[in-house]
Structure 1
Amino acid sequence: MLIGLLSALTGLSLLRINVVKNILAPAANFLAALVFLVVAWHQVRWEVAGLLAVGALGGGWLGARIGRRLSPTLLRVFIVLVSVVAVVKLVWFS
Structure 2
Amino acid sequence: MEYFCYHRDRPGSVALREELLEEHWAYMDRYAKELIARGPTFADDGETPTGSVHIVDLPDPAAARAFAFDEPNYQAGAYRDVLLRRWRNVLGRTM
The structure with more helix, counted as a fraction of residues = 1
Greater RCO (CA < 8 Å, at least 6 residues apart): 2
Larger Rg: 1
Q: TM-score, normalised by structure 2?
A: 0.28
The structure with more strand, counted as a fraction of residues = 2
